[in-house]
Structure 1
Amino acid sequence: MTHPHPSPPEYPESPAQSAPQQPIPPQYPQQPPQYPQPAQPQQPPQYPQAAQPHQPPQYPQTAPPPPYPQTAPAGIQPQYPRSATASAPPTAALSPDDPAHPHHISTDRRRVHITKDQRRTDATAVGNLLLYLPNFLCSLAVVGLVSAFFGDLAFLVILAWLASGALVFYRPAESALARRLLRLRYPTPQERAKLEPVWHEVTARAGIESRTYELWVEDSDALNAVAAAGHIVGVTRFALNRLPNGELAAVMAHELGHHVGGHAWSSLLGYWYALPGRVAWRFLKAFSGFVFTVSRAFGCFGAAFVVLFIGGIALATISSLYGLPLLILGVPYALAAVGRRAELRADEHAAALGFAPMLAAVLDKLHQQEQREAAELRARNGGAHVEESALSKLLSSHPDYHTRLHHLQPYLETRQH
């Protein structure tokens, strides 16, 4: 039995559906579409009107202002900014260790040519020894009188004294001389690190073996240096710490000139052999003064007797030695003249190694130091000028500043050309 398909339910129709369907035209929007607007430029930042107490506002500057120094502590010079066109600072304004200093030299190691003759004896050294001959003969006479107390060993005493001159070149004896008489000391590691490169540069230019000599330091605030015995080169603490290495090299080259020319060992050797005579002379001078003082207690007769007695001994001594002791009176002046010549020869040695400008600067510093000392002496004398006597000038062991500078002029002119 078949069943018919159920018919769909009947829904009520709306009036619009009941009418015949007409096509509906499309509905367009009444307003045009809203397109995106271009991005607005970013507004400049708003700077705060009032600065915060903890962070001041940062305003753009075309160029930062130069930092002006505030009140500098005592003893420190303020450093002002310099323009690019400013001239170079003066030499005195530069630190001695500044490589920009005009007297700073390079101490880089290089090949060293050692000369055949490490030492020589120039005319100045020979003249120095000859001038010590009268003192030597007087000392020999004194040693001969003292050796008479040893009887048969008198000859051995004289030989021992003659051989004692070799101690001048004996290193332990030189060390004792440096410590006791010259007041020198060994340099510290820091001082040695500064001295040795400069010394190697000086000896390399001179062709000298640097290990032949020992470097010492004197605790002094004066500008000075010394060459003593056979192997000692000493500089003051002032020269080590306050001079540029080029000027320090000039000072050391000057002292090396004393060693190379034989000035140092000849002076010390002459001084050593003259020492017994000097001791005897001081003893006789003190004894004569004592006897004369005692004789005055007996009136004029006693004083006259002492004078005649001492004068007779002096006359007999001079007559027996053909007047040779009279030469001793002029020896100090002759030795001073030879010493001044030795200083000029040492200056020439340093200048020949290329240190003429540096040595001239050192001489200028020495001249200023002498002027300050003269000013202090005038101040102690109430402002009165103290004139150096002619005899004191003749006894000076160093030439004056103008003489030394005059002898350096040929080397300075050669360097300028």
Structure 2
Amino acid sequence: MHLTQRQRTIDVAAVGQLLLHLPALFASVVIVAALSHVLLPVWWPGVLLWLGSGAMAFHRPTERAVARHLLHLRHPTAPERARVKRVWREVTARAGIEGRAYELWIEDSDHLNAVAAAGHIVGVTRFSLESLSNGQLAAILAHELGHHIRGHAWSSLLGQWYALPGRLAWATVRRLLRFLAVSVTGRGRMRCWTVVLFLVVCSAVVVAALSYWYVVLALALAPYLLAAVARRAELRADHHAVTTGFGAPLAEVLDIMQAAERESGHVTASALSGCGETAVVETGTPARGRSQGILGKLLSSHPDYHTRLHHIAPYLDER
């Protein structure tokens, strides 16, 4: 087995994910600094500790906790481990990657799915192990390996982690406004104070939005741009699977899922899809199709099957 000199790279899609999370990172830094200023004598150590916490994405115990508790994965049984390791060795050998650097997990699911998470987690569903041939299983694992070595998995996790304080703050403000709006329409002694508090909170939100309109605009556009980058990342992961010799079985998997979609008459879970809301790059999250309109397509992180087959067709023809 020949190991490549560079086991990991970072491509345009991974860089794009990080850049598009910068507005959320800016908002999160302001929030963390404000909390640190209230709780600590000096605010900057809290910000530095929070920024340094992103390194936990490559901390093995933390990764295992994410796999077990957030992704609901488990360690494979002896027969499952024997099969998936045999296929994984072939996948990593063709790519020149040290396969022992990654941990293989199983999801108890009846859907065709696989996942790349954090720095070293690769998961596959029990249904995939039971229903796919070795070549098809190797194709979806090669797709997930492509997400890892191109930097899609860790960049997605870091981006969502650093955006978390801003998201939590905005969710808190929305719930507060909703609670105050309901209270304003009610009756009672505290109604006047509730109206005043509601107006104060609304004024603060408007002032912040006008003062930092460029951040607000970037945050509003970010979901659409991130979805576009995620679709590009999926095509790049497909390209990795094809160039390592698994193009034909990958096309078979996509054909199977496309046929299942046509039979059901609606959009089903995709066979090899994109970045989810759980800070992972996975296969099998629901794709958004025509039934959800133009906005659904723009927010979809998963290219449709026809697009993906179209992109890998030239490489299959060359081979």
TM-score between both structures, scaled by the size of structure 1: 0.67
Tell me, yes or no, if structure 1 residue 358 matches structure 2 residue 262: no
What pairs with 1:152-231 in structure 2 (closer than 5 Å)?
Answer: 152-231=41-120
- Residue 412 of structure 1 aligns with an amino acid whose one-letter code is L
Q: Secondary structure at the match of 1:216?
A: strand
Counterpart position of 1:400? 304
1:376: Cα distance to partner?
10
Q: Is the 8 A contact 2:34 2:43 kept in 1?
A: no
Q: Is the 8 A contact 1:318 1:326 kept in 2?
A: no
Take 2:260 and 2:35, find their aligned partners in 1: how far apart are those partners?
A: 46
1:389: Cα distance to partner?
1.6
Counterpart position of 2:6? 117
Taking a change above 3 Å as real, the CA distance of residues 148 and 185 of structure 1, as seen in their structure-2 partners, is: same
1:388: Cα distance to partner?
2.0
Q: Is the 8 A contact 2:116 2:147 kept in 1?
A: yes
1:156: Cα distance to partner?
1.8
Q: Secondary structure at the match of 1:399?
A: coil
Match of 1:321 among 207, 212, 222: 212
1:152: Cα distance to partner?
1.2
Q: Which blocks of at least 5 consecutive residues in structure 2 are unaligned?
A: 269-289
- Residue 201 of structure 1 aligns with an amino acid whose one-letter code is E
1:221-261 CA distance string (max 9 Å, x none): 10011100000111111111110000000000000000010
Q: Which blocks of at least 5 consecutive residues in structure 1 are unaligned?
A: 1-111, 378-385
Q: Is the 8 A contact 1:263 1:342 kept in 2?
A: yes
Counterpart position of 2:236? 345
Taking a change above 3 Å as real, the CA distance of residues 347 and 266 of structure 1, as seen in their structure-2 partners, is: same
1:372: Cα distance to partner?
5.5
Counterpart position of 1:9? none
Q: Secondary structure at the match of 2:39?
A: helix
Taking a change above 3 Å as real, the CA distance of residues 128 and 306 of structure 1, as seen in their structure-2 partners, is: same
Take 1:324 and 1:311, find their aligned partners in 2: how far apart are those partners?
A: 18
Q: Secondary structure at the match of 1:126?
A: helix
What pairs with 1:278-297 in structure 2 (closer than 5 Å)?
Answer: 278-297=167-186
1:335: Cα distance to partner?
0.6
Q: Is the 8 A contact 1:292 1:306 kept in 2?
A: no
Taking a change above 3 Å as real, the CA distance of residues 311 and 231 of structure 1, as seen in their structure-2 partners, is: same
Q: Is the 8 A contact 1:184 1:217 kept in 2?
A: yes
Counterpart position of 1:388? 292
Q: Is the 8 A contact 2:177 2:198 kept in 1?
A: no
Q: Which deviates the most, 302-311 or 199-208? A: 302-311
Which is higher, the Rg of structure 1 or of structure 2?
A: 1
- Residue 387 of structure 1 aligns with an amino acid whose one-letter code is S
Identity of aligned residues (%): 52
Take 2:65 and 2:40, find their aligned partners in 1: how far apart are those partners?
A: 32
Q: Secondary structure at the match of 1:134?
A: helix
- Residue 234 of structure 1 aligns with an amino acid whose one-letter code is G
Take 2:44 and 2:202, find their aligned partners in 1: how far apart are those partners?
A: 31
Q: Which gives a bigger RCO, structure 1 or 2 (Cα 8 Å, sep 6+)? A: 2
1:369: Cα distance to partner?
4.0
Take 2:118 and 2:59, find their aligned partners in 1: how far apart are those partners?
A: 9
1:132-172 CA distance string (max 9 Å, x none): 00111111111112112223143221111111000000000
Taking a change above 3 Å as real, the CA distance of residues 161 and 297 of structure 1, as seen in their structure-2 partners, is: same
Higher-helix-fraction structure: 2
Alignment: residue pair count: 296
Counterpart position of 1:23? none
Q: Secondary structure at the match of 1:387?
A: helix
Taking a change above 3 Å as real, the CA distance of residues 194 and 285 of structure 1, as seen in their structure-2 partners, is: same
Q: Is the 8 A contact 2:261 2:267 kept in 1?
A: no
